[in-house]
């Protein structure tokens, strides 16, 4: 099963995911990133931090970029 890494980029800050997670497909990696982005946004709101900005940059073990998932794309507006 492929391993995907969920690096976080927010403005000029890059936080590297050194562990990654095994998932069956790039689509599942994007779903995981969306769920994680929702958790991050919710935590920011709870702590009074700005909830905007930031994105996951999903890569494979060889460093190939699979997708970029902006945190704001995880918010569903009614």
Contact 60, 3 (CB under 8 A): yes
pLDDT band at residue 77 using 50, 70 and 90 as cut-offs: low
Give the residue, 52 or 64, on which the prediction is more confident.
64
- Residue 11 has what pLDDT? 85
pLDDT band at residue 75 using 50, 70 and 90 as cut-offs: confident
Q: Residue ranges of the domains in the chain?
A: 3-73
Enter the tokens of residue 28.
């599942």
**CA distances (Å), 4 to each of 9, 27, 46, in order?**
16, 11, 28
pLDDT digits (tens, 9 = 90+) for 12-63: 899 999 999 999 999 999 999 999 999 999 998 899 988 778 999 999 999 9
């Amino acid at each position: 099963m492929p391993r995907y890494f969920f690096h976080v980029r927010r403005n000029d800050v890059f936080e590297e995911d050194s562990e990654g997670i095994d998932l069956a497909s790039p689509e599942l990696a994007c779903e995981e990133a969306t769920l994680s982005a929702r958790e991050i946004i919710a935590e920011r709101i709870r702590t009074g931090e700005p909830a905007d900005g930031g994105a996951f940059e999903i890569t494979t073990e060889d460093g190939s970029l699979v997708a970029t998932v902006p945190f704001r794309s995880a918010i569903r507006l009614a």
